[in-house]
Amino acid sequence: PLFIADTGTVPRLPAFQRLAMVYEHQGEYQKAIDVCDIGIKHGLADGTQGGFTARKSRVEKKLSETHAS
């Protein structure tokens, strides 16, 4: 994962967060999940308490609800 040695923190790249949000709002849930997976893979922070892992879980729930309808 990406890591800033000087500060001991994981970088926050708002582009990934924003892209996941845009896809989610457009109903493109799988694309939002894919973006979350990239963020998780690279150890990125998204500025929320649960990070990309929680965002992914939330979007997966929406995706399963749309398939159930």
Report the pLDDT value the prediction gives residue 7, as an integer from 0 to 100: 61
Report the pLDDT value the prediction gives residue 22, as an integer from 0 to 100: 96
Can you name the residues that pair with 4 across neighbouring β-strands?
Answer: 9
d(CA 36, CA 63): 14
Provide mean pLDDT across the span 58-63: 96
Burial bucket for residue 66 (CB in 10 Å: 0-12, 13-18, 19+)? exposed
Provide mean pLDDT across the span 50-62: 95
pLDDT band at 34 (very low <50, low <70, confident <90, very high): very high
Report the pLDDT value the prediction gives residue 48, as an integer from 0 to 100: 86
- Nearest 5°: CA angle at 69, between 40 and 17? 25
pTM of the model: 0.81
